[in-house]
Amino acid sequence: MNVTDTNAGDMNQPPQGSGTTPVRRPKIRWRDALARERYLFAVDLHLDGRVPARVRKRILADLRHSIEVDAEGAQLQDVLAGLGKPCELAANYAEGADQSRPLWTAGVVAALCLLLVYWFFLFAFTMGMLAVTMQAGGEFHARFFFLNVMAFSQDDGVGIGWSGNAALWFPLLLAAIAFIPASRAWRVFGRRR
């Protein structure tokens, strides 16, 4: 008895209905991808502190998928405009949610901004000292907040330097001063009651 398999040529293909067919993701231009990610980042920032992180991730994944599907038949700008402003969309998602969460992202951004401002003024102060020192010659010492700053200009070289523990603790103190009010970190203690 000779039995032949009629599907012998299809052995490398998965059976129908097995759910292993690859999902074709639409091709998106890099400009559109950048615009989409910028929009999603803005929504994420507005959701920070309003909904838990796992819920935010799910919301953003759903939004990303929805934008990709809708962008297949329309311009991405039209799709994003149809969703509305990121702050309004985030407010719709956060409606009814517990909004007593700290805003960690806002705290980190505020701390980094204040540190950048501090380092900019420290750099400007030091360069000003160095400019005066190069004209007058010699060695000069000054204080920038609690940090000892030194600049010298002699025949054998020119240089600047800092000394003291304030080089570490003062920027950290500034970062904490910016972080705590911007993030509303005290909400962590209020939620435990």
Could you give the 3-state DSSP secondary structure of residue 155? Answer: coil
Question: What average pLDDT does the chain have?
Answer: 79
Residue 72 has pLDDT above 70, yes or no: yes
- pLDDT per position as a tens digit, 133-169: 988 888 899 999 889 999 998 888 898 988 888 888 9
Which pair of structure tokens corresponds to residue 62?
Answer: 């759903």
Between CA 75 and CA 141 the distance in angstroms is: 61
| Order of strands, sheet of 138-144, starting from the edge strand that comes earlier in the sequence | 138-144, 147-154, 157-163
Reported confidence tier of residue 190, pLDDT bands at 50, 70, 90: low
Which pair of structure tokens corresponds to residue 47?
Answer: 């959701």
Between CA 189 and CA 114 the distance in angstroms is: 25
Burial class (CB in 10 A: 0-12, 13-18, 19+), 182: buried
How much helix, strand and coil, in percent to the nearest 5, is found in the chain? Answer: 60, 10, 30
pTM of model > 0.85: no
51, 55, 61, 63 alpha-carbon torsion, rounded to 10°: -50
